Amino acid sequence: MMLATALYAALWLCSQAEARFITEVDPKTVYDYIVVGSGAGGSTVGAGLAEAGHSVLIIDAGIDLTATDEYRAPGYSLKASEFPPMTWEFFVNHYPNLAMQRRDSKMTYLTPSGNRYVGLHPPPFSKPLGVLYPRAGTFGGCTAHNALVTVYPEESDWDNIAKLTGDNSWNADYMRDIFKKIERCRYVPNSIIGHGFHGWLTTSVASVVFFLEDPKLLAMLHGAASALGQGFSKLFENVEGLVQVLHRDLNSGYPNRDRRQGLFQIPIATKQGSRDGPADRVKLLMQGTPGGLFSSAKTYRLDVLLSSLVTRIILQPPNKPGYAARAVGVEYATGPNLYRADPLSNPNARLPPLRWLQAGREVVLSAGAFNTPQLLKLSGLGPRQELGRMGIPVIVDLPGVGVNLQDRYEVSVTSASPQPFFLTKLCTFGRTKPDPCLNQWLYGSNDAEKGAYTSSGLAFAVLKKSTVAEDDIPDLFIAGALANFTGYFLNYDNVATIGARHWTWIILKARTRNRAGTVMLRSRDPRDTPLINFNYFRSGTNYDGQAEKDALALVEAIDWARAATSNVNNFLHFDQFHEESPGPNVKTTAQEAQWAMDEAWGHHASCTAAIGADKDPYAVLDSRFRVRGVDGLRVVDASVFPLIPGYYVALSIIMAAQKAAEVMDEDSKTTPPAPPMPPPMPPPAFSYGNGYSYGGGYRGYGPFGPNHFNHGRGGY
């Protein structure tokens, strides 16, 4: 052990002590931690570990687009999510029954001519692909294209994990302290409890000026208040009342915060009108700027390797009976657009030569709720039966990998009026050059002058408790948006932003009861997307009427949204809004429920490698993010939650990742580094199919049998 530690230290010292983007890695370099994925989880945990003094490599299949307008301008968030260099297109199923799936107007098909069709009437012999579920294949992950919503989860989300695991460091008070370390709040005075004011993630809200300048936007706010009841509508009798409503703090730390209903402005992750997120924190470390959480050092050992697809985890067999296998590194291929969710990917291209990297301490999977279970399974960690069907030897039988997939149910009530909103009437969302609103955003001196693009278009939110909520916590988050947004389908960003005449009530059913979604391997090829089925409503968790309760909550929200729009029309006598979706033919409660079950979508996939109790066979992780049955391997992303938290998941992931960095730093003080990997040895080549084969390796576990690892030095 002393020799291994000395060798490891020598390799550590000979590597460069600075943070940087790199294009290749010297195979002799050993990082303390290799983090797979650069999103909300990966960039946060990687930066936190680097600030604590550890050497870290973040590896991601995408490229850095943080300097583009698509990344920086909040108003381009929809455009960013369909920006070809940035997006990954997953196509998912909501139901196992194709007849039910075909009722969704967002269903996508591959036609016999090779085109993609979206809708209810595909050409004959078209192949069903599923419903678009956009992810971000870029540095920053989905924090590079999301709507920047930064909403604190409920206390019960954290207390539940503490109770489940017996680990009190997950309790709500401790996690609020984590949040305060992270946040740099810019929308409430620093006397407000529960907020942080010196962290790295800047939080803001849209300028109140926008409501004062746009009569229709103000009317929408008034209509929502009227639908909520007399108490809220009275507040609109003067400007002071308006400001009072818009200054209600959605993320406060006051008692009873989780039970409040009504109108709120939506906190977003923006800094001086531009997107802010975990990728920006990593880049600050590269510039020698500390994040302020651990140290004030001016250099950090943090490298970021992009355009590199991790294909599996290197697992070293136990050296004694009864001991666990150990994750000692990753196998990866370098090249652009390798993953087949990438719209720029060439499906017939050969995989570049495979390489491997050693982690001196641990490997951290932060690849997201779809790709983390895929990588675990490709590495022999997952349900025995599924791995057996794929011909992958089982290293650890983990039946909880890729099950328990959870999401929100979301639907939209959309309306159009004859005249455009003043705030966005000149905005072209990148369809023309110049884009007047982009120029305003680029050259304005503050958020009010920068205009509409300082926001993602979500004007405000309503928290509401349905009659079927499980407790006193609101289960409906209804956001008002200056858009024509009905969910995700090809070209949805253009449909949503043309004309500036539409208003959408985006209804999000939080605390959904469905736990039945799955992520399963499509093949052994790591470039293939997995098979994803959310098993909505009656096809999922429904042993006690859960599906009907979730559908009824959506119906109540639809009715509320319709009432709010009707109130708006009472204020705008000459510019009436006319409903387009669900539309006038959807009238009764039964019709609304069926429409919701047909058209619902989600975009917060979570819980596919969950933390749980020691006695739970489906608990993939312990409370310290460690994969059970394997040493040196952790998961830090949306997969870790046993139940999907809060209303929007990004902040919950960031908080969990910051906690993970602290936990791992603490554990490093009592755990020795891993011994160096054995030298490469050439085993036989094994074919993946589609022109993909393995060759070369080291003594360890691979998915084709024990005692060899194929890292691709030959066999192509």
Question: DSSP string of 644-713?
Answer: --SSSSHHHHHHHHHHHHHHHHHHHTTSPPPPPPPPB-----EEEETTEEE---BSSBBTTBTT-----S
* Backbone φ and ψ of 14, nearest 5°: -80, -10
First to last CA, the chain: 37
Residue with tokens 């040895």: 681
Predicted confidence (pLDDT) at residue 508 exceeds the cutoff of 90: yes
Q: What does the pLDDT average to over 593-602? A: 99
* Predicted confidence (pLDDT) at residue 681 exceeds the cutoff of 50: no
- Rounded to an integer, what distance in angstroms lies between the CA atom of residue 626 and that of residue 132? 32
Tell me if 149 is assigned to a ligand binding site: yes
Write the pLDDT tens digit of every residue in 104-145: 999 999 999 999 999 999 999 999 999 999 999 999 999 999
d(CA 83, CA 367): 20
Cβ count near 345 (within 10 Å): 17
Q: What is the CA radius of gyration of the chain?
A: 25
Give the C-alpha distances (Å, rounded to integers) separating 600 from 136, 506, 509.
Answer: 21, 11, 10
488 closest CA partner among 148, 65, 105: 105
- Please name the residues in contact with 515: beta carbons below 8 A apart, sequence gap of 6 or more: 404, 406, 540, 541, 607
Q: What's the gap between Cα 207 and its chain centre? A: 26
Average pLDDT over residues 15-23: 73
Do residues 501 and 478 lie in contact, with contact meaning Cβ atoms separated by under 8 Å?
no
574 pLDDT band, cuts 50/70/90, is confident
| pLDDT exceeds cutoff 80 at 291 | no
CA distances from 650 to 62, 85, 131, 137, 157 (A): 19, 22, 22, 16, 14
**What does the pLDDT average to over 672-689?**
53
Of 621, 608, 654, 644, whose CA–CA distance to 38 is shortest? 654
For domain 30-67+279-405+606-682, the CATH superfamily is FAD/NAD(P)-binding domain (3.50.50.60)
Q: Is the pLDDT of residue 556 over 90?
A: yes
Distances 124 to 97, 120, 127, 163, 601 between C-alpha atoms, Å? 19, 12, 9, 53, 26
Q: Give the strand pairing for 20-22 and 302-305.
A: parallel
How does strand 686-689 pair with strand 692-694? antiparallel
Q: Which two tokens stand for residue 368?
A: 């997201």
Output the six-digit token pair for 710.
């194929």
Averaged pLDDT of the chain: 90
The pLDDT, as a whole number, for residue 3 is 43
- The per-residue pLDDT for 300 is 82
Question: Which whole number is the average pLDDT over 439-450?
Answer: 96
Contact 389, 523 (CB under 8 A): no
pLDDT classification of 391: cutoffs 50, 70, 90: very high
Q: Which residue has the higher pLDDT, 698 or 384?
A: 384
Would you list the DSSP string of 298-360? S---EEEE-SEEEEEEEEEPPSSTTPPEEEEEEEEEE-TT-STTSTT--TTPPPPPEEEEEEE
Give the residues across from 481 on adjacent strands: 458, 504
CA-CA-CA-CA dihedral for 578, 579, 583, 584, to nearest 10: -50
Domain 207-265+409-511+537-599 has CATH 3.30.410.40: yes
How far is the C-alpha of 42 from the C-alpha of 107, rounded, in Å? Answer: 31
Q: In this predicted model, what pLDDT tens digit does every residue of 225-284 receive, in sequence order?
A: 999 986 666 666 667 777 777 889 999 999 999 999 999 999 999 999 999 999 999 999
308, pLDDT greater than 50: yes
**Does the pLDDT value for residue 455 go beyond 90?**
yes
Q: Which of 5-14, 164-173, 218-227, 453-462 is the least confident region?
A: 5-14
Residues counted in the chain: 716
Check pLDDT > 90 for residue 62.
yes
Residue type for position 624: R
- Please state, in angstroms and rounded to a whole number, the distance separating the CA atoms of residues 174 and 84: 40
Burial of 3 (0-12, 13-18, 19+ CB in 10 A): exposed
Q: Which two tokens stand for residue 669?
A: 């003080």
For the chain, give the percent of residues with pLDDT over 90: 83
CA–CA separation, 476 vs 551, rounded Å? 12
State residue 228 phi and psi, 5-degree precision.
-80, -20
CA 452 to chain centre: 24
pLDDT more than 70, % of the chain: 89
The pTM assigned to this predicted structure is 0.93
Asked whether residue 314 carries a pLDDT value surpassing 50, the answer given is yes
Q: Annotation-wise, does 610 bind a ligand?
A: no
293-299 average pLDDT score: 50
Domain ranges of the chain: 30-67+279-405+606-682, 87-136, 207-265+409-511+537-599
Sign of the torsion angle spanned by Cα atoms 35, 38, 39, 43: positive
DSSP string, 75-106: GGHHHHHT-TTTEEEEEEBS-SSHHHHTT-TT
What are the tens digits of pLDDT across the range 68-112? 999 999 999 999 999 999 999 999 999 999 999 999 999 999 999
Query: Which of 295, 268, 269 has its CA nearest to residue 481?
Result: 268
Both structure tokens of 551:
């559908």
Residue 716 has pLDDT above 70, yes or no: no
Show the tokens assigned to 421.
């909103």
pLDDT of residue 298: 55
How far is it, in rounded angstroms, from Cα 489 to Cα 134?
9
Structure tokens at 422: 């003043």
Is residue 297 predicted with pLDDT exceeding 50? no
For 198-221, the pLDDT digits (tens) are 999 999 999 989 998 999 999 999
Mean of the pLDDT values across residues 353-374? 97
**Which pair of structure tokens corresponds to residue 654?**
């960031």
Strand order in the sheet with 116-118: 87-92, 127-136, 107-110, 116-118
Cα 180 from chain centroid (whole Å): 21
Question: 401 in helix, strand or coil?
Answer: coil
The CB density around residue 613, as the number of other CB atoms within 10 Å, is: 15
Is 147 annotated to bind ligand?
A: yes
Q: What distance in Å separates the CA atoms of residue 7 and residue 68, rounded to the nearest whole number?
A: 42
* Separation of alpha carbons 511 and 153, rounded Å: 11
What's the whole-number mean pLDDT along residues 611-620? 98
